[in-house]
Amino acid sequence: MTPAYWQQANHELAARDHVMRRLIQHFEGASLTSRGCAFTTLARSIVGQQISVKAAESVWQKVIRTIPDMTPRSLSSVEQDLLRACGLSSRKITYLQDLSQHFMHETLNETTWSEMDDETIIAQLTKIKGIGRWTAEMFLIFHMQRPDVLPLDDIGLQRAISRHYYGDQSVNKRMIIELAKPWQPWRSVATWYLWRSLDPLPVEY
């Protein structure tokens, strides 16, 4: 499902930023999409921690071949050796199975998320083992489709900003925050286009 705000965000970003205008034109017709499943989005985000988009997609495809019916219960019950064979580290397996327990025992109150602001959701999710701020931000962007998330710790975002705005010079968080001010309230959208500029595979969680 494409966010309802996508076209408005594209129009406003293109009007404010020449790099955004070029990227939006280049990737015309493409957009952020939600898979509509909170558990799957969080599980994919854990799989994607600290590895490339391509590597994450490869591992995830192996996981879903191993567990075609991807549910908290099926992931919780699968043998760890099978998950290791997919390319998952022991730590990520622990995180995924702990996540499954939270969903199975309904310790996450999904019904209230739509009423919460971004930081409140991040605070709730980061109480789960293996979910840090970056993973929670991926959840906000891809599942909740919140429009104004800026994941400062994301390596892909840092690389893309360095490439498109600073001639491949290194950037820090303060520089990114300042650069992104004109993108508000559409920083999730700008981030998505910058990710897309780096990799032929669209970033999806």
pLDDT tens digit sequence for 117-175: 999 999 999 999 999 999 999 999 999 999 999 999 999 999 999 999 999 999 999 99
> What tens digit of pLDDT does each residue of 30-49 get?
999 887 789 999 999 999 99
Cβ–Cβ under 8 Å, residues 204 and 33: yes
pLDDT at 180 over 90: yes
Q: How confident is the model at residue 204 (pLDDT cuts 50, 70, 90)?
A: confident
Q: How confident is the model at residue 197 (pLDDT cuts 50, 70, 90)?
A: very high
Helices 6-16 and 187-198 pack at an angle, to 10 degrees, of 80
Length of the chain: 205
Helices 187-198 and 133-142 pack at an angle, to 10 degrees, of 100
At 108 the pLDDT is 81
Q: Which residues contact 40 (CB under 8 A, 6 or more apart)?
A: 70
Q: How confident is the model at residue 109 (pLDDT cuts 50, 70, 90)?
A: confident
Look over the chain and give the mean of its residue pLDDT values, rounded to a whole number: 93
Residue 58 tokens read as 């490869």
Range name among 26-40, 68-82, 170-184 with the lowest pLDDT average: 26-40
For CA atoms 29, 31, 37, 41, the dihedral sign is: positive
Task: Check residues 170 and 202 and name the one with the higher pLDDT.
Answer: 170
Q: Residue 141 and residue 118: Cα distance in Å, rounded?
A: 10
